[in-house]
Amino acid sequence: MSEAQTPGDESRQRLGFLSAAEAAALTHRGVLIPDPTSVLVSPGVRLGTGAVLWPGVILDARDGGAIVIGAGTQLFPGSRLVASGGSIKVGAHAEIGEEGGFTLKAEAGDVIEVGDGARLLGGGSLTRSNRIGRGAQILGPIRCQNCTLGDGGSYRDPEPDARGAVLKGSGVARQIDVPIGCVIQAFGLFSEGVLRQQSYFHPKPAG
């Protein structure tokens, strides 16, 4: 092992990832990586200034796949993004993987888009093609396939019905389309869930 190598570098490179030193060098481009030895990043992954890779993050682009992460986006422990011939694009200031990680997997022909300020929390996944709009949220261990969540304000927007679309609960969501300001809460099949305005869950105070 050369002085520049760390334990595991040979395995990293055989699996198509940057060495630990190369991962650490991403910090020179403004990426925040508290523990470079704990993250796996493929060459060619594009990371915006201020993006945060917490320990245990995997960004795996292979077979012509592409991964783009916007400025200021946080990838929490357990986040795994795999572009195996497909495309994954995450906008700015999104939050991916808090409260249990999150998996995004785009195979050949798949396009996964996650808008600015979106939140994907609680151990769920996106597979096949999905468009998670600006400010939209997936809250819980939900397996999403071919879903579209409408653009809107972030979860901090004072008007609930102007926020990005939301899926919350647990289960499977296939070909679900949720417009701005709406939410489906389900525990099982989201196709059987009820589409409601977000103000149903977040009513404005009386007076």
Given the candidates 2.160.10.10, 2.60.120.10, 3.30.1490.20, 2.20.25.90, the CATH classification of the domain at 9-200 is 2.160.10.10
Mean pLDDT of 4-27: 89
Band of pLDDT at residue 202, cut at 50, 70 and 90: confident
Domain positions in the chain are 9-200
User: What's the predicted TM-score (pTM) here?
Assistant: 0.93
Mean pLDDT of 89-98: 98
DSSP reduced 3-state for 179:
coil
- Measured between alpha carbons, how far is 179 from 152 in angstroms, rounded to an integer? 9
Mean pLDDT of 125-132: 98
β pairing state of 142-145 and 177-178: unpaired
Contact between residue 23 and residue 6 where contact means Cβ atoms under 8 Å apart = no
| pLDDT single digits (tens) 16-34 | 999 999 999 999 999 999 9
pLDDT at 80 over 60: yes
Mean pLDDT of 173-181: 98
If one compares 206 and 53, the residue with the highest pLDDT of the two is 53
Distances 67 to 6, 55, 159, 191 between C-alpha atoms, Å = 26, 18, 32, 29
pLDDT for 1: 43
| Burial (CB count within 10 angstroms: exposed 0-12, middle 13-18, buried 19+), residue 196 | middle
Band of pLDDT at residue 2, cut at 50, 70 and 90: very low
Mean pLDDT of 107-127: 97
DSSP reduced 3-state for 206:
coil
pLDDT at 122 over 50: yes
